[in-house]
Structures are given as C-alpha cells and as structure tokens.
Amino acid sequence: MNRLLPIFVKLENQPCLVVGGGKIAGQKIKQLLESKADVTVKALEISDDLKSLPITIEKAVYRENDVKGYKLIIAATDDDNVNRQIYEDSQKDGIPVNVVDQPSLCTFYMGSVFQDGDVKVAISTNGKCPSFGKYIRDHISNTSKGMWGKALGKLALQREKIINSILSYSEKQLVMEELVKDSQNKFIQKQVQRGKVFIVGAGPGDPELITVKGLHAIQCADVILHDALVHPHLVFEINTNAEKIFVGKREGKHSVSQDTIQSLLTEEANKGKIVVRLKGGDPFIFGRGAEEVEALKKAGITFEVIAGITAGLGAAAGFGIPLTSRNEAQSTTLITGHQCEKNGRHNWKALADLDSTLVFYMGVKNISKIAATLIKNGKLGSTPLAIVQNGTMVSQAIFVSTLEKVEKALKGESIKTPAVIIIGEVVRHHKRLQKFVESIPSEQVDPVGDFGFDIWKTDVFEA
C-alpha cells in the first residue's frame, strides 16, 4: 500500500541544494529547474552538460550543516557517509531530503513526471520500482497524444467566465464537469441539440484488437448498445458510467429485432446523447451496419462508422495464414456460409474458379455442403481448409483438413463457434509456421459464443 501523500510543491525562486555533479544529479537538477527553483550544486567534479545550466556551482565537498538555508535537498553522491550526513542534517533542520536510490534516507520521492502544458502527472511507485513509473508515464503520454495541455488551456478560459457568472459551488462544479466531458468529446462534434451515433467495430474477440478511435468513442459514450459477440471488457469496463443496452441476438432467448435496434439508436441520439453501437468484428462485414446507417440517415442523425478487425482477418492472422499470397492467392473473398447451392445467390462456379482465398462466415453448419458444392463446381478436392474457432480468444483453435476429406474428418469432432472457414492453398502456411506463431490473446476470458444464430436470417425471437 502506498501511503505517500502526493503534493505539488511551489519551488519558484526557492533555494534548493543538489549535492553531487554526475548524471543522476543532472536528472534531478533538470526537474528542479522545470519548477524554476534556484538550484545550487555542490560537488568537486561537475559533468560538462551541467555547466551550461542556470545553476550556481560550488566546487567543494559537503560539510556538516551545509543544508542550512535551503528549502529542499537532493543528495546524489556515491559516498554513503556523505549521503547519511546530508540526510541527518536535513532531518535536524526539518528540510525535505531525497538521497537518490536510498528510500530509507528520503523524506520525499520525485516521481516519473508526465507534462503537457499545465497538465502535470507524477507517478509514485512508493520507491519500489521507478522504471515501472516511467513505463506508466509513457503509457499516459501515448494516451494523451499531446491533446490534454490544449484542452486544459481552453477549459481554464471557460472556467474563469463560469466562476464569475455562477454563484453556487455545486452548480459551478456541475457545469465544469459537463464542460470537461464535452472537451474530451471534441472529436465527437455534438450536433445542435442532437447526439451522434458511432457504429464501432469491436474486433473479433480479443479486446485489445479494437482501434484506438473505437476505444475513444466508447470512453465518450453516454449509451452503449452491444452485441453478444463483443468482449465484456469493452462493454463494461472502459466506460462504467455509460448506460448499457444489450441488443444481441440469441436463438430461442430474448432477442431484439433489427427494427428495435434502429429505433433505439435514433431515440437515444435524439435525446442529444453520444451513442455507441458496438458490434463484433467490423460493422460493415456481415454486421447489418448498412441497415443501421440507412435508418440513421432517414432519421437525420449524424453517424460515424469506426472500422474493426473482421473475424476472418483476426482468425487468419492468429494462426499465421496469409489471406493473400503472391503465388497462391491473388485475392480474398469473404462469404456468408449461410447460403448454400439451393437457397443462395452465390455464384459457386465463379467461387470455385477464382484464384482467391475463400473465407466463410456463419458456415460451420453447412460445411459439408460448402465443400461438396465447391468440388462439384471445379475446385480441387485436395484444396486445404481450416476452421478457426473462437479466433483471437484464449480458447482459439484450428482444425485443418481438405475439401474432400473434411466431412469424414469432422465425424466425432466438436467444432466450437464462432468459427470461420478458410479455404485455399494459403492454409498450408499454417503447418509450416505453426511452431513459430505465438498469438497471445490479451486476457484469460471465456469464449463469448455466438449461440448459433445467423443474423442474416430475419427471424426474431422474443423472450
């Protein structure tokens, strides 16, 4: 447990002493100078890069009670006795002291610091592992992308006006909280009195496969309408305040019709809300995203579609299968496996002739028919085939066979869903590469499961 009190100290023009003139001392001196402290460095040897800094240099050894008159002390010498003496002298005079890398001789620590304009974040690891503090600082820096400083600058101006115009503290706080939220929603330009719908692809399973933009939209959402195939981490943990509406389709269980989903999107946006429609994979690949955007257009609601990694791409990548390859596949075709020869509109002859990798979605139930139809239309029976189940999830698995053998090979096997079927010469890469491909899904989570429902059917099941 970290029991340190984080405080930000005003050191402008305050005398501070650094004992030691090496590299480590240099790092601390620079941090003090950023706070505009009046820094004196005491050491017999001073490294060259410190000489050009706006500091006072005293080429001397430390003597007892040299700390007197200073507001803050840093000891960065390699002499344990000197360091201890500095600590004891500082303690005697009640001056905060930090002996570098000796937590027991510190009354304060200097954390890893992230700074962007007036935003300053200091990270403490309780002296346990400063390198981890730096790692967290870099993470913050990647997240802020240089936008927080600017956002704070604008908020500060607005705050000044609000402070002058609103009297009650609680009202000021409420208004400011709203403004802060809006400032972070800047990439989500709110329409006049109306909200906006983000149709976001959540990726195939692994929650880390969402795009940064998709994640940002979730963070800004007031309402999230989510499918069954979306990872719970993305739905429930990124933005705990947003209202969650489950609109997944489950066979034989409670389910929401496509019309209802579209009405919900419109209604929520009309209330001025930021609505995220979170869909598995990519919203425009077998996701009925097209219907949703049509409905939004009809209702006059602004929307943005944020692409996601579709299941076929995620599944293939995870098992080292290149969907196109210079010599084996000039293209990739994504196909619904729900339609078969009798009821579908696929041009099976063209599919069989194409020098293309075929990726079937929602096709596991029809796999024998798919294989037989392709062979009947001229595809070689020896063409390799892979069924990738729970792709990009911890339980991901691959089953490899060929068009002519798959029906027999599957006898007694249980194939988990969701799954895609990849057909083409490129599947052979998996065998060659499998010892070297190491795909690590981000978390130990149970597979989400697609309940065997085919969203291309129009059936609606009510609870």
Q: Which residues bind ligand SAM (CB under 6 A)?
A: 204-205, 229, 279-282, 285-287, 310-311, 315, 361-362, 388, 390-393, 418-420, 450, 455
**Residues 38, 16 contacting (CB under 8 angstroms):** yes
Active-site residue flag, 78: no
Distances (CA, A) of 160 to 118, 185, 282: 16, 21, 44
Least separation, in Å, of the C-beta of 311 and ligand SAM? 3
Nearer to ligand SAM, 187 or 456 (CB): 456
Least separation, in Å, of the C-beta of 202 and ligand SAM? 9
Element (H, E) at 122: strand 119-123
Nearer to ligand SAM, 263 or 417 (CB): 417
DSSP-H helix ranges across 52-94: 80-93
**CA 117 from chain center: how many Å?**
24
**CA 80 from chain center: how many Å?**
45
**Residues 39, 32 contacting (CB under 8 angstroms):** yes
387 burial type by CB count under 10 A (0-12 exposed, 13-18 middle, 19+ buried): buried
Backbone angles phi, psi at 40, to 5 degrees: -110, 135
Out of 28, 42, 196, 249, the active site residue is: 249
Nearer to ligand SAM, 67 or 225 (CB): 225
Least separation, in Å, of the C-beta of 209 and ligand SAM? 10
Distances (CA, A) of 51 to 11, 54, 55, 221, 352: 22, 8, 8, 52, 75
Nearer to ligand SAM, 19 or 362 (CB): 362
Out of 222, 227, 282, 450, the active site residue is: 227
Least separation, in Å, of the C-beta of 200 and ligand SAM? 11
Nearer to ligand SAM, 268 or 450 (CB): 450
Active-site residue flag, 249: yes
Residue 423 to residue 402: CA distance in whole angstroms: 8
Least separation, in Å, of the C-beta of 231 and ligand SAM? 10
Least separation, in Å, of the C-beta of 456 and ligand SAM? 7
Nearer to ligand SAM, 89 or 227 (CB): 227
CB-side neighbour CA atoms (13 Å) of 197: 30
What contacts 235, CB < 8 A, 6 or more positions away? 224, 226, 244, 278
Active-site residues, by number, are: 227, 249
